[in-house]
Structure 1
Amino acid sequence: MKPASKFSRSLAGLALSGLALALGPGAAGAQALPDPIKLVVGYPPGGTADAVARVYADKLRAELGVGVVVDNRAGAGGQVAAQGFVRGPKDGSTLLVANNHMLSTLPLTVKTVTYDPVKDFAPVAPIAKFEHILAVGKNTPAKSLDEYIALVRRQPEVYGLYGIPAPGSAPQFIGYSIAKKNGLKMTAVPYRGGAPLLSDLLGGHVPAAVDAIGTITEYVAKGEVKVLGVTGPQRLDILKDVPTFVELGYGNLNASGWMGVFAPVGTDPAVIERLNQAFNKVSAMPDIAKAIVPIGFAPHAGSPKDLGDIVKNDLDTWGPIIRESGYVAE
């Protein structure tokens, strides 16, 4: 057999190039992505942030054709992960799965935060959102926010205590906003996470709590907890009878909690675009909703600009509230 001529080899090369173009940018650039890709999570394994990241990682492996692993770097409410990430590689091999606490609340409340939430992170895609609620235990005789406010007004030393999952978190400032609007004395009681807070709410050790919705709906159905208000622009399907804070007259409590994926600043825009398309495709998969809705999240998708706008809007929403509260992290 005669060796292929230069002309025939050129034709073959053109044919392969044409095939790659026909298959689209995903196929043509599949080998350009690092393998594996790390999803850095600023919280320990077993938590809800970790759970959401792992569900996405599982689906992304097939979608991107490379390994995708979760790298837990817990510490200081996500601050450790975020600060270390800023100095990371800019080749798409390391992505940060961040939430509103890491990129809005911490920079507004903690002086030791060294990163700029807007300038130091390149948005890739929003992946999930969640809401915060004000709930009372079965020993707190209130069926509405107005009834709860009346209780606090009468006995602030008893009913004015509200549990929060961590000091300086968004729930603390939701409680502050409610107290400020009504001229009440309310005191935040910090816990080390949502699990012990929920346990004390169920046990009657704290009369009220403000936290992410999490798994509380199962206790609502049992009558052990009553939810009086929820953040966000509209009522939740899983809590249709619970009004939003906006409906109740608290227009500054409309911001949802969120999770999003970021790359280091300087990452190739083409890589960011490819990753954005992959995350958006995965977020629409039924298995994602099936896995994260029961733990209080809803799948979310959007462009890098959408995620950047979410961060900026969060800072604009919580900045004035936090400054007005005078809160300073200890």
Structure 2
Amino acid sequence: MDLDRRQFLVATGGALAASTLPGPASAQNLETARLIVGFPPGGTTDAVARRIADKLRGGYAKVVLVDNRPGAGGRLGVDELRRSPPDGSTLLLTPASIITLYQHIFTKLPYTSDDVSPVSTACVISFAFGVGPAVPASVKNLRDYFAWVKANPGLAGYATPGAGTPPHFLGMLLSKESGVELNHVPYRGSAPGIQDLVGGQIPAMSSPIGDYLPYLASGKLRVLATSGPKRSRFTPDVPTYAEQGFPALQIQEWYGFFLPGKASPEVVNRAAAAVRGAVALPEVTDGLAQLGFDASANSPAELAKAVKSESAAWGPLVKQVGFTPEA
């Protein structure tokens, strides 16, 4: 993913102030709206959805229900949206990779980008490379970690929330760029990987930065690098991958709202205005920060550009690391 495209992705996520969206039309309020989440209750995406859905109630619709459709790494949620009426009563909140990356790693998808209408981003998150008690306290940065792995090749495993996820590609890039062989250990989501990291069953992990935050103060986990264009406000003392000599590992991910592909511009703009209003609320911004996210909303046009740009950028990166697409 080239630098210009990465910077564009980050910039689109921060376009809240520049966006000019129409205000919500209360006369068109829906009785009930569904917010689809392609992951189980209690997960990160679910937590983001519930914080925002709470603020859409009474404005966008009298009732807003979070509808969890877990399975296939988030793909089932997009497929459910694709088959829903385009009247604004069904929205989807999803990490960007489900729309932009998956087309390059799965040979058969039940949807294309034409099956969804971009509404607005909700937030942006960086990824981090962390280590647990299986790695000595003397390992404080990536250089130390590589030296330790070379001396202990049997402990070169690193966890991710799953194969083909952005944290997996960051791990593959880190191994390729450093010349140090790292062994990928995929988990079914972040939670079990983090628990094994804390328990010392796996030495290291590549995962969203929010996964580590509850454990940093106690020293149970240590973050060695973050993936943003600058240091994360959540770990200001931790250098980025780029600062440690790996500029190619500058990757963030936004979470975005989508409507069915045939939704009218009027319906899309109304949803975008409602999402932007909810994301701008201090309690939502603060709630997202607790999860490691930076709140960020933009316009449908800006999100559409981000989808197109990131989709084009992932293809060469998938080939560069030698990832084999799955069926």
The answer, yes or no, to whether TM exceeds 0.5 is: yes
Partner of 1:138: 133
- Displacement of 1:208 in angstroms is 0.7
**More moved, 62-71 vs 237-246:** 62-71
Q: Of residues 199, 202, 216 in structure 1, which corresponds to 2:198? A: 202
The answer on whether the counterparts of 2:134 and 2:202 sit within 8 Å (CA) in structure 1 is: no
**TM-score normalised over the length of structure 2:** 0.87
Q: How many residues align?
A: 304
Counterpart secondary structure, 1:239: coil
Counterpart secondary structure, 2:232: coil
The answer on whether the counterparts of 2:126 and 2:227 sit within 8 Å (CA) in structure 1 is: yes
1:243 equivalent to 2:239? Answer yes
Letter in 2 for 1:297: F
Letter in 2 for 1:210: S
Q: Which has the larger radius of gyration?
A: 1
Partner of 2:284: 288
The answer on whether the counterparts of 1:138 and 1:223 sit within 8 Å (CA) in structure 2 is: no
Letter in 2 for 1:302: N
Whole-angstrom CA distance in 1 between matches of 2:69 and 2:80 = 9
Partner of 2:78: 82
Whole-angstrom CA distance in 1 between matches of 2:168 and 2:23 = 44
- Displacement of 1:203 in angstroms is 1.3
The answer on whether the counterparts of 1:36 and 1:66 sit within 8 Å (CA) in structure 2 is: yes
Deviations 1:64-90 (A, max 9, x none): 253221111111111111123223211
Aligned pairs for 1:138-177 within 5 A = 138-141=133-136, 142-158=139-155, 160-177=156-173
Structure 2 segments unaligned to the other structure (5+ residues):
1-21
Counterpart secondary structure, 1:229: strand
Letter in 1 for 2:235: L
Counterpart secondary structure, 2:148: helix
Whole-angstrom CA distance in 2 between matches of 1:313 and 1:234 = 21
Deviations 1:180-221 (A, max 9, x none): 112121110011221111111111111110011224123221
The answer on whether the counterparts of 1:30 and 1:65 sit within 8 Å (CA) in structure 2 is: no
The answer on whether the counterparts of 2:174 and 2:249 sit within 8 Å (CA) in structure 1 is: no
Partner of 2:112: 116
Q: CA RMSD in A?
A: 2.0
Partner of 2:185: 189
Q: Name the structure, 1 or 2, with higher relative contact order (CA <8 Å, separation 6+).
A: 2
- Displacement of 1:33 in angstroms is 4.2
Partner of 2:230: 234
Whole-angstrom CA distance in 2 between matches of 1:177 and 1:138 = 24
Letter in 2 for 1:67: V
Moved >4 Å (runs of 4+): none
Aligned pairs for 1:19-168 within 5 A = 26=23, 29-117=25-113, 119-141=114-136, 142-158=139-155, 160-168=156-164
The answer on whether the counterparts of 1:215 and 1:294 sit within 8 Å (CA) in structure 2 is: no
Change (3 A) 1:169 1:215: closer
**TM-score normalised over the length of structure 1:** 0.86
